[in-house]
């Protein structure tokens, strides 16, 4: 019968909602939480719904957000706090089914097939989760319920915040008909432009094409599109979405040769990797780098350490050494990548004095940023970039 059994649960404007909960003065105000690195070069992590009215959204540069929303309240991220709320939310989700696939700190898929006898239908379970999350965390969550992951995710997004949307099998066609093409997984800006050339703007515009046509026009992506445009998705909810590594890479518009500039980028990228490790309460023992030159030749190098780390300073220092020691800075660089792998949960790693000292430094900088505002506190390395732009 194809009964709905997949849930996609997603907290509403999570980081800013936690900040608004912690400080009642912030309620109903445009609150913008930024990354660990909160200079004007940093990006927005979460914007409250009040801030979104000004056009502010996540991943937008802080500098741009401040132009759009000069009266916004800009706060540095407090990951310990969000992590604590997240742990509570996930313990609620796991009560209803063992099949919880964590997508991020505030988002998960659940498969509740077989749990109905204990907790009621999938829709009843969604109601119960919403109530319990509100009661125990004083935060709201949006849930989509459907027959597969793709539709459940579309459904959770449909009526945010505090939504509960169900897409039953018989509603799929109606729901997909007017869906814009860029809402389909895997369709980014570039692909959407390509599809627009063939007058394909909505999911239903794809219905007249055969699988073979889409495959020959767009390759593998075309095959995916054929099924997703009809609301079909066979991926199963996997119990633990184990993150293997966290990395960041950048392709430069002009190839880079200047060492100081390369190190400045490397530092910025280390901060991004560190931020994402912190957000997921992870540490790793292997730092790796990737370099691609103008002729597209590509080199990777890595170093494993005795102690797991997630501080931007340490990641940066090790990556810098890898570049220098392996003589990778002799030609101009087209792409630079940096990452950390061999991950473990924070708290499960071996502690040593060195790691603790460095964590403390990150914390102190965070505190200073909170106290004096993001713009004023920036490690010396970043000043190079700030002046350059
Ligand atoms: Mg969310």
What's 361's DSSP letter?
A: H
Highest mean pLDDT among 16-30, 31-45, 176-190, 304-318: 16-30
Model confidence band, residue 41 (pLDDT cutoffs 50, 70, 90): low
Q: What pTM did the predictor assign?
A: 0.65
Mean pLDDT of all residues in 195-222 = 95
Mean pLDDT of all residues in 347-369 = 50
List domains and CATH numbers for the chain. Answer: 1-168 (3.30.70.270), 178-228 (1.10.150.20), 245-388 (3.30.1490.100)
Mean pLDDT of all residues in 258-268 = 93
10 is in an annotated binding site: yes
Indicate whether 37 pLDDT > 50: yes
Which residue has better confidence, 155 or 105?
A: 155
302 Cα: distance to centroid of ligand 1 (angstroms) = 33
Q: How many residues does the chain have?
A: 389
319 Cα: distance to centroid of ligand 1 (angstroms) = 32
Residues above pLDDT 90, as percent of the chain? 66
199 is in an annotated binding site: no
158 Cα: distance to centroid of ligand 1 (angstroms) = 13
Indicate whether 360 pLDDT > 90: no
Annotated catalytic residues are 107
12 Cα: distance to centroid of ligand 1 (angstroms) = 5
Indicate whether 290 pLDDT > 80: yes
9 Cα: distance to centroid of ligand 1 (angstroms) = 8
160 Cα: distance to centroid of ligand 1 (angstroms) = 10
334 Cα: distance to centroid of ligand 1 (angstroms) = 34
Tell me the pairing of strands 44-47 and 6-11.
unpaired
46 Cα: distance to centroid of ligand 1 (angstroms) = 9
Q: Kindly report, residue by residue over 235-249, the tens digit of the pLDDT.
A: 999 876 567 899 998
Q: Distances from the Cα of 108 to the Cαs of 11, 112, 158, 379, in angstroms?
A: 9, 13, 16, 35
Mean pLDDT of all residues in 243-268 = 90
Q: Kindly report, residue by residue over 148-187, the tens digit of the pLDDT.
A: 999 999 999 999 999 999 999 999 999 999 999 999 988 8
What's 330's DSSP letter?
A: S
Indicate whether 367 pLDDT > 80: no
Residues above pLDDT 70, as percent of the chain? 86
280 Cα: distance to centroid of ligand 1 (angstroms) = 14
Nearest to 218 by CA among 254, 190, 238: 190
Indicate whether 10 pLDDT > 70: yes
Model confidence band, residue 347 (pLDDT cutoffs 50, 70, 90): low
Q: Which residue has the tokens 């490790």?
A: 277
Q: Distances from the Cα of 380 to the Cαs of 263, 267, 320, 361, 387, in angstroms?
A: 12, 10, 16, 14, 11
Res 362: pLDDT: 58
What's 350's DSSP letter?
A: P
150 Cα: distance to centroid of ligand 1 (angstroms) = 16
106-120, 152-166, 373-387: least confidently modelled range: 373-387
Contact 264, 136 (CB under 8 A): no
Mean pLDDT of all residues in 276-299 = 89
Tell me the pairing of strands 282-293 and 245-256.
unpaired
């Amino acid at each position: 019968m194809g009964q709905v059994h997949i849930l996609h649960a997603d907290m509403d404007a999570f980081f800013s909602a936690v900040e608004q909960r912690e400080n009642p003065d912030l309620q109903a105000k445009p609150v913008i939480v930024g990354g660990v690195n909160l200079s004007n070069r940093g990006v927005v992590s979460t914007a409250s719904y009040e801030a979104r009215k000004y056009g502010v959204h996540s991943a937008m540069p802080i500098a741009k957000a401040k132009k759009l929303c000069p009266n916004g309240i800009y706060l540095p991220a407090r990951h310990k706090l969000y992590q604590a709320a997240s742990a509570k939310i996930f313990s609620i989700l796991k009560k209803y089914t063992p099949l919880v696939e964590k997508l991020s700190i505030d988002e998960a898929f659940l498969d509740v097939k077989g749990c109905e006898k204990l907790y009621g239908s999938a829709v009843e379970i969604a109601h119960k989760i919403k109530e319990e999350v509100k009661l125990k965390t004083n935060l709201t969550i949006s849930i989509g319920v459907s027959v597969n992951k793709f539709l459940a995710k579309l459904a959770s997004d449909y009526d945010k915040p505090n939504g509960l949307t169900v897409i039953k099998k018989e509603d799929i066609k109606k729901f997909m008909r007017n869906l814009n093409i860029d809402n389909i997984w895997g369709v980014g800006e570039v692909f959407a432009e390509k599809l627009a050339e063939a007058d394909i703007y909505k999911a239903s515009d794809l219905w007249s094409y055969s699988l073979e046509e889409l495959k020959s026009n767009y390759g593998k992506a075309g095959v995916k599109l054929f099924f997703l445009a009809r609301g079909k998705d066979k991926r199963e909810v996997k119990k633990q979405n184990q993150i293997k590594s966290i990395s960041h890479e950048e392709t430069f518009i002009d190839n880079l040769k200047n060492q100081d500039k390369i190190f400045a980028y490397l530092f910025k990228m280390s901060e991004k990797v560190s931020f994402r490790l912190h957000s997921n309460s992870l540490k790793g023992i292997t730092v790796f780098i990737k370099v691609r030159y103008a002729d597209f030749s590509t080199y990777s190098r890595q170093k494993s350490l005795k102690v797991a780390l997630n501080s931007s300073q340490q990641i940066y220092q090790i990556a810098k050494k890898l570049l220098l020691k392996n003589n990778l800075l002799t030609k101009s660089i087209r792409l630079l990548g940096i990452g950390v792998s061999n991950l473990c949960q924070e708290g499960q790693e071996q502690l040593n004095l060195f790691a603790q000292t460095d964590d403390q430094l990150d914390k102190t900088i965070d505190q200073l940023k909170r106290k004096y505002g993001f713009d004023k506190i920036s490690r010396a390395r970043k000043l190079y970039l700030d002046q350059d732009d």
